[in-house]
Structure 1
Amino acid sequence: MYINSIRKIWNSIAKSDIDEEPNFETDFDHIIELFHFGDSYYYIFNLQNSVIEYVHPKVEEIIGVKPEDFTTEKFMEIVHHDDLPHFMNMENTAIKFALNFTPEKLENYKVRSDFRVIHQQSQETIRILRHIHPLQFTANKGVLLCLGIQTDISYLKPFGKPILSFIGLNGAPNYINIEVEEVFKPTNEILTPREKEILKLLHKGESSKQVAQELHLSEATVNTHSRNILCKTQCTSIQEVIYKAIENGWI
């Protein structure tokens, strides 16, 4: 289901249905310096046909996949099940955001996002920080090739909701923590939008009374929502729910 949708999203920024010849004559070492700060690997991705043209051998060390097996389909398979809708929504939002820029301006940006994947050898969950930068444009001024760099940041961000940002280079402005359009919904959604709203305010340290005032509800209604949240999540306290919600990216 997801693979066909993500291909359409990627292809939309290529702005062309005509096959164009990729050009790999690029100083990748210079570009990688823009991103590299940890245990990473890089790859070259063709947005027009959704094909990974090249991946560095270190991919096997980082996520447990041999270079020859690192296909688009394989990558989608190893994204953590709970983060897959987040990943799809971030890709969709990033492409729509990038379509507002000319190629000249887009060259001054890298897209930064994070999500979890399952290491294919150890089966451990690791968090990946990904940077994307355009490499080659189509005749229609769409993006043909991009450079992707993925870094294991599990030690920096063991849990939390994925975040999408556009990082400006050469003096271009930053767009941090862009609001992500929720087109793809989690298949195992537990909390309602209202329950998430209440949980976010409780996470900020507000009391039930304060939450009720801010949301224009009665305190009894807020308490009822809190009990429902505990029941749905099988937790014994709101603090436990908050931890679980942050870990799973619910809030």
Structure 2
Amino acid sequence: MRKILGIALCTLALAGAGCKKAATGGDGAMKNYVTIDPSTAGTISGTIHFTGQAPARVQIDMAQDPACTFADTNYTEQYVVHDGGLQNVFLYVKDGLGNKAYAPPSTPVVIDQKGCRYIPHVSGAMAGQPVKFTNSDGTMHNIHMTPTLSTNQAVDISEPPNDAAGEARTLTTPELMIPVRCNNHPWMQAFLNVVANPFYAVSDTNGHFTITGLPPGTYTVVAVHETLGTQTATVTVTAKQTASQDFTYASSSAAK
């Protein structure tokens, strides 16, 4: 009877502000997960600007492995600037959600090894969401992921050529800029960001980003770059509206 009553209450809530779904979190504790209400959800959108002269991208010598010489690009990805926009900046909502908890997706985040590169270079996942590493190359790769937190398991495994099934791992604790490298090809590097909520994004080739599905409120938004560091901003989101927020990194920071 209680189960039937709970389902009825949940159905009523979905018609209004949203339903809290009880579930077990990655730490084994019961959590009341909140669903995103599309009728009031807002958006944060902006651009990551880079001022001044960006450091030159360094060409990578991939000749040690003939399978890598067919790569479309062989330049470092540390500073990727196009028309003043900075790519590969991770952005997420750090504060402002209160005690709201959101269920991690069961669909994995995919990081591919293609052209002897990790694609994407920077990615994000929720704590408790699977992360799958695939190999599109005709050569053996190595996945060497080294979290700092002991609650996130380190990974150091080999992956055979043309492995579409991939290797999946799940990290349970939020942690930023976790390095992922390939011991077989030392130039290969990526960064995985694990966060506590689904409100995150990575800046694209023009430096643009969009964080969607936010309930109305005032939030602390954090921008993180692998070398240029962290910036924060306070952003107020209203129902069904898009709040604009840009960030700017400078060449003087890159030179340090």
The bucket for the TM-score relative to the shorter chain is under 0.3
Give the TM-score normalised by the residue count of structure 2.
0.25
Structure with a larger share of its residues in helix? 1
Structure with a larger share of its residues in strand? 2
Whose RCO is larger (CA < 8 A, sep 6+)?
Answer: 2
Give the TM-score normalised by the residue count of structure 1.
0.26
